[in-house]
Amino acid sequence: MKARALTLMLLFISPLLFSQYKPWLNFYNFNYGAKARAMGNAFVAVADDLTAAFWNPAGLAAKRSPEFYLSYKSLSQKHDYDLQDRILLKETKLYNYNFSSQLNQIDFFSVSAPAIIWKRNWTFALSYYRYIPYGLKGSAREVITYLHDRLHPQKNVVAFTGSEGIDVLAFSVSAALTDHFALGATLQQFFDSGSQHLSTEISNREYHSQFSEKLQGRNFITGLLFSPFDFLCLGFTWHSGLQNNFDSTLLTWEVNSKGEKINQLEESCRARVVIPEQYALGVLLRPAAWLDLSAEYSRLDWEKGTIENYYDFGVVLPYPQKNNWDQKQKNISNLRFGAEVRLPLYHWQLLLRGGWSADRQLFADVDDQAVVVKGYAAGLGCEFFRNLLLEIAYQRQQADWPEKGFFIKGPDVATHFRASVFNLSLTYRFGHIFKD
C-alpha cells in the first residue's frame, strides 16, 4: 500500500510541478530543417529540400538527382514567473520560480531518388525524424521564503533528463503531373520509445519517476503545389489524424537518508491516443529572380487530442499534455512569413534568409486565451558547386502572458518564456542525373 501511495503521489506531484512551467510549451508546432527555420517556418509553398517529406511531399517532385540530407538542432529555453508575495499580519512570504531546459539532437535524416515514370518526374524518399522529442534535460526550481526566517527557505527542485523520443520512419512519393502541378504523399510510421526521468526533491526527501512511452500506428501526409505563373506558387498540406495505442511504463522509487532505493514500483498501461488532423496553406512569391517571399497559415486542432486509460486517472485526458489543468487544451494556429535572397559569390551561391512567426500554443493564459509565441529568425546557406549545400539558422522565440498566481488568493502574475533554437543542415547531391 505504501508503494502504491508513492506511485499515485508521484503521478500527481509531477504534473502539478510541471504544470507550473509547461516544459514542452513550444514542441507541438512541428518544424524541421535549417532553411525552414531561417524563413520563419513558412515552408509549405517552398518545400525544396528533403524536409518536404514533412512540410509538403509534393515539393520532392522537383528533385533531379539523388540526395542525402541531415539536420541537427540545438534548443535552449527558460521560463519564469515574476516574484510573488503574500503579505499577512503574522506571516509574509515570497515565491520565486524558474525553469530551464536544453535539447540537442539530430532531428531529421533523409535520402531520395528521382525517376522518370510514364514520362513524368517522380521522386521517392525515405526519412527519419523526431515527432515528439523526449531528449530534454534541465531543471525547475521553486522557492518559498518566509520573511521572518530568510535563512531557511522552502525549496522544491525537479531535475529531468530524457533519451530518444517518439520517432517517425517515413516513406514519401511525389510526381510532377504537369509543368505547373505536383502531388505528393508521405506515410508516417511511428516507432521507438521516449524516456523521461524526473528527480524531485521535496522537503529534503528525494523521489524518482521514469516514464518510458511509445506511440504506435501510422498516418499520412498529403500535399500539392500549384504554380500558375513563374513568380507564384501555392502549397497545401494535410496531415491525417491518428487513433492508436500508446504504451507507457512508469518506474518509481524513493531514496532514503543512506542513499538506498526504497519503495520501488513498476506500473504500465496501454492507453488509447487520438491525434487530430492538421492542415496548412502557403504562398511563395518570386518578384525577382534573386528574391523569394513566403507566407503560411497552419492549424492543429489539439482540442480533439485525447488520451484514455492512462494509469489511474480514470478520465479522458488531453493529449499530448496529459494532465488536469483548469484551462482546456487549445487548438493551435500559426501565421508565418519568410524571405530568401540569392547572391552569387565567385563559383558559389550565398543564400540569405529571414523570417517571423506567431505560433499559438496548447496552453492558455489566465483569461483562457491561447498563449502566442513570437519568433524572429535568420540564417544563411552556401551552395558549393551544386553538389554540397550547408545551411545554418537561428531563431529567437519569446512570449509573455498573465497566469494564475502561486498563492490561492494571490493576484495574477506575469510569466516569461524565452527560447533560442539553432539548426545546422547538410545536403549532398549525387550528380545532376536528369535534365531540368
Distance separating alpha carbons of residues 340 and 39, to the nearest angstrom: 7
User: 101: burial class by Cβ within 10 Å (0-12, 13-18, 19+)?
Assistant: buried
Cell reading at 341:
535572397
Q: Which helix (H) or strand (E) holds 222?
A: strand 218-229
Are the CB atoms for 212 and 195 separated by under 8 Å?
A: yes
The DSSP secondary structure of 153-172, one letter per residue, reads: EEEEEEEEEEEEEEEEEEEE
**Residue 57 DSSP label:** G
Supply the mean pLDDT for the chain.
87
pLDDT at residue 9 tops 50 = no
User: 385: burial class by Cβ within 10 Å (0-12, 13-18, 19+)?
Assistant: exposed
Cell reading at 178:
504537369
What SS3 state is found at 132? Answer: strand
Q: What is the pLDDT of residues 199-210, one digit of tens each?
A: 988 767 889 999
Q: What is the pLDDT of residues 321-364, one digit of tens each?
A: 887 666 778 888 999 999 999 998 877 889 999 999 999 988 88
| 178 contacts: CB under 8 Å, gap ≥ 6 | none
Are the CB atoms for 69 and 425 separated by under 8 Å?
A: yes
- Mean pLDDT calculated for residue range 210-224: 93
Task: Extract the runs of DSSP E, i.e. beta strands, from 134-260.
Answer: 136-146, 149-176, 181-191, 194-202, 205-215, 218-229, 232-239, 242-255
- Mean pLDDT calculated for residue range 242-259: 90
| Domains, the chain, with CATH or none | 2-429 (2.40.160.60)
